[in-house]
Amino acid sequence: MDRKSIQQQRNKQYEERHALAVGRLREIVTEETVPAHFIAYFQDVAIFLLELENVRRKIADGAWDRYSLEEMQSINEILYSDITGSHYEKSYANPAFAAEKLGTQTGRLLSFLYAEMRSGIAAAFENRMDYLTILCELFIEVYNCFERAGEEAEGGEEPRTEEIREILYWYASDYCDVFLADRIVEQIDPGWSFAADIIEQADLDNDKYLYGFGEYITQNELGTARYLRTLPENVIKNMADVYTEGYRTGFINTGKDLSKKSVVNIRYTLGFERVIRVAIDNFKKMGLKSVIYRAASGVVTKREHHKIGYHGGIANWQYEYDHRQDQALFMDKRYIERKLEVMRTVYEQNRELAAQFAGPAVIETFGENPFSPVSVPEASSHNEKQRELSLQYDSRSGQLTNEYIKGEERSFTIVAYPVPEIGENYPEIFDEVIKINTLDAALYEKVQQTIIDALDQGEYVHVKGKGDNRTDIRVRLYPLHDPEKETKFENCVADVNIPVGEVFTSPVLEGTSGVLHVSRVYLDGLQYKDLELTFEDGMVTDWRCGNFEEESEGRRYIYDNVLKNHDTLPLGEFAIGTNTTAYVAGKKYGIEDRLPILIAEKTGPHFAVGDTCYSWSEDIRVYNPNGKEIVAKDNTVSLNRKEDVSKAYFHCHTDITVPYEELEEISVVTKEGKHIILLKDGKFVLPGTEILNGPLQELETDNLQQHSKEEKICQK
């Protein structure tokens, strides 16, 4: 039975329960049977759920397809208005507002409940009567709890918070085998084709199709789709080809057999459907069917504030950040074990399908206004015990996934493009990024090999910042036993990481020490100011940033979002970016702090904390184009996999780049004490690499000319 038939069957099974739940919601809208200060909350959320049911019915009976663009836009605005702009300040989805109106503990629980109801937006557009019924029943159960408490105390009391917490716990635990099970299957089964059907069948020349996904649509998604319509078909094809060929080449370069696979996962931000449609066809020609699943929004399946899967605009990053750790309200060891049990069962039931999964192909976007979150004490957050449980879950679920989708057999590719929010030069910047993504790989391969030849002579690399940049770090390099056949660095051209332009290695941890500092950087959607990490023997020992007035808040920010709740992380990668064209583009348009790490990592040396680039596939033999085998793939942490795999991986990898302009020197120091200088004052000085300075010199010339013009104007 295909997935659509299965969904229809599920809806039929839930019809009676759904009708009863919707009927009860209609009663709640006018009732006043809970304690007085909770009436507005329950009525508002009930109205929202009824609005979702209204949308679901329009989808189910085809009325939605007959709506005008303006009507679709109006519904989209209504569904997301409560968390956008200043509305969020007085929304029950805001933990601070909910705590103020409903009490700290109860407000935190009910704010989560409303956020969970909001995950039903996607269910409405997918006509998931089963999901909506489960959500409505949860809401009604909590409402009944308040109603009973009010009746028992003649309207003056509220239920104990533990009673509400228990309801939420059993909701998450009981429905793991629905939400989590579906999530796993939709990640590997092309039969779950909601998004793919829209992309392949819709009229992409009409903005209306964007609103059919059920995602928040902003001027970024609309502007991207409209701009892509202006581009010639050959340009669209070229964009798709770079993306899909990078994926195919990634398998070849890592010695993995793509012919054994039949499923690829496409992840992207709405607006790029014209490119995605061509990419789907390209992948078909490779023998791959495309899985395109939505970024999760429910507590059982989402990963904090990260958007993994396709998605529209982010209505409010602060909302996403406030609810990133909502599972802290009820998470315990029993819940973690329940999730792992469901994972194993579902993977085992779909063992053959999982084995066919080749990995993700990602199109990232950048250019949005940088987001630096506000610390909200009323928001849920993990306690120490829960942090340990969360890390255990990440480790065990990663091992479980790798058991069925083997790391040594899968690959990926990733490319990035700007969105209109980047500024008035958007079309010009977009065209520049297309150019960056299609630079001459052969030229870079040759220049980068020159850099690698120098690095292979080194015992360690010394990176030193200049001016206000406090970077001063020595990175120990892996020793070569046969320099004629072995190399320490991978010569990275445009395959898995597009664009071209870096050489990278897994450093030796012992002897890698110093300070890494960068004035401003944008990581995983979050902005960091004056970020500083200290390393001793390759492990992070101290950290700080300037985002908050209180240094302790900055430390917590880094602990949560860079260290991912680990007390320390190793330096998993050291690389030198060579894409000066991308660097100059960032300077030219004033978008350096908005470049995604995918591009930014190519614009200076970068350091990744977490796992190495070769995690889960260290034993696969990998070669550079010149035939030398890359032997620096492990470190003393990843080697733990041979004894206890749970101690080998951290399931994170965060790249931090120091831009050229903040560098005094990068030098290779040999065992004999010889210094081979690669970069000096932000310029490449190693013989054979001078061509990389061309864009930098053009930028300097342009700046001098601009300065001269300004002086003449001042004189006049």
Phi and psi at residue 350, to the nearest 5° = -120, 35
Q: Which two tokens stand for residue 597?
A: 């790490």
- Which helix (H) or strand (E) segment holds residue 197: the answer is helix 194-201
**Chain centroid, CA 551 distance in Å:** 26
Cα–Cα distance between 313 and 373 in angstroms, integer? 17
DSSP string computed for 619-684: TS--B-TTS-EE-----TTGGGGGT-GGGT--S-EEEEE--GGGEEEEEEEETT--EEEEEETTEE
624 confidence band (pLDDT: 50, 70, 90): very high
441 confidence band (pLDDT: 50, 70, 90): confident
**What average pLDDT does the chain have?**
94
715 confidence band (pLDDT: 50, 70, 90): low
23 confidence band (pLDDT: 50, 70, 90): very high
Nearest Cα to Cα of residue 611 among 644, 582, 640, 591 = 640
Q: Which two tokens stand for residue 551?
A: 């240094």
Handedness of CA 476, 479, 484, 487 (dihedral sign): negative
Angle between helices 580-588 and 694-715 (to 10 degrees): 20
CB contact burial 146-177 (16+ within 10 A = b; e otherwise)? bbebbeeeeeeebbebeebbebbbebbbebbe
Q: Output the pLDDT for position 5.
A: 82
pLDDT > 70? residue 67: yes
pLDDT > 60? residue 705: no
Read off the pLDDT of each residue in 29-49 and give the average, rounded to a whole number. Answer: 96
Please tell me whether residue 154 adopts helix, strand or coil conformation.
coil
1 confidence band (pLDDT: 50, 70, 90): low
What are the tens digits of pLDDT across the range 78-96? 999 999 999 999 999 999 9
Q: Output the pLDDT for position 526.
A: 85
- pLDDT > 90: percent of the chain: 86
Nearest Cα to Cα of residue 269 among 228, 240, 209, 312 = 312
Cα–Cα distance between 167 and 344 in angstroms, integer? 25
254 confidence band (pLDDT: 50, 70, 90): confident
Q: Output the pLDDT for position 704.
A: 58
Least confident of 46-50, 571-575, 644-648: 644-648
Cα–Cα distance between 246 and 437 in angstroms, integer? 11
Q: What is the dihedral of CA 187, 193, 195, 198, to 10 degrees?
A: 170
Please tell me whether residue 461 adopts helix, strand or coil conformation.
strand
Q: Which residue has the higher pLDDT, 683 or 370?
A: 683
Question: For 166, how many CA atoms within 13 A lie in the half-sphere containing its CB?
Answer: 6
What are the tens digits of pLDDT across the range 524-559? 878 899 999 999 999 999 999 999 989 999 999 999
Residue ranges with strand state E in 182-282: 263-267
Read off the pLDDT of each residue in 104-131 and give the average, rounded to a whole number. Answer: 97
Q: What is the dihedral of CA 361, 362, 363, 366, to 10 degrees?
A: -160
What are the tens digits of pLDDT across the range 126-166? 999 999 999 999 999 999 999 988 676 555 578 899 999 99
Phi/psi class of residue 84: alpha, beta or left (left: φ > 0; alpha: ψ in -120 to 50)?
beta
pLDDT > 70? residue 61: yes
Nearest Cα to Cα of residue 72 among 80, 535, 637 = 80
Q: Output the pLDDT for position 605.
A: 95
Q: Output the pLDDT for position 597.
A: 85
Q: What is the dihedral of CA 234, 236, 237, 242, to 10 degrees?
A: 120
Sheet arrangement for strand 263-267:
289-291, 263-267, 357-366, 413-418
pLDDT > 60? residue 708: no
Q: What is the dihedral of CA 109, 111, 115, 118, to 10 degrees?
A: 120
Question: For 25, how many CA atoms within 13 A lie in the half-sphere containing its CB?
Answer: 25
Cα–Cα distance between 489 and 483 in angstroms, integer? 12
What are the tens digits of pLDDT across the range 162-206? 999 999 999 999 999 999 999 999 999 999 999 999 999 999 999
Longest dimension (CA), the chain: 86
Q: Supply the Cα-derived Rg of the chain in whole angstroms.
A: 27
Q: Which residue has the higher pLDDT, 251 or 593?
A: 251
Cα–Cα distance between 10 and 128 in angstroms, integer? 8
Question: For 332, how many CA atoms within 13 A lie in the half-sphere containing its CB?
Answer: 8
pLDDT > 90? residue 283: yes
28 confidence band (pLDDT: 50, 70, 90): very high
What are the tens digits of pLDDT across the range 342-377? 999 999 999 999 999 999 999 999 999 888 889 899
Question: For 369, how many CA atoms within 13 A lie in the half-sphere containing its CB?
Answer: 7
- pLDDT > 70: percent of the chain: 97
Give the type of residue at 391.
Answer: L
Q: Which two tokens stand for residue 331?
A: 């998470």
Phi and psi at residue 384, to the nearest 5° = -60, -45
Please tell me whether residue 311 adopts helix, strand or coil conformation.
strand
pLDDT > 90? residue 229: yes
Q: Which two tokens stand for residue 153?
A: 């105390």
Phi and psi at residue 382, to the nearest 5° = -70, 140
Helix, strand, coil percentages (3-state) for the chain, rounded to 5, are: 50, 15, 30
Q: Hey, where are the domains in the chain?
A: 1-174, 439-709
Q: Output the pLDDT for position 151.
A: 73
Cα–Cα distance between 374 and 380 in angstroms, integer? 14
Q: Output the pLDDT for position 620.
A: 87
Q: Output the pLDDT for position 702.
A: 66
Decide: pTM greater than 0.75: yes
Nearest Cα to Cα of residue 274 among 308, 237, 223 = 237
Residue ranges with strand state E in 191-252: none
Q: Output the pLDDT for position 706.
A: 58
Q: Output the pLDDT for position 156.
A: 59
DSSP string computed for 29-42: TT---S-HHHHHHH
Q: Output the pLDDT for position 523.
A: 87
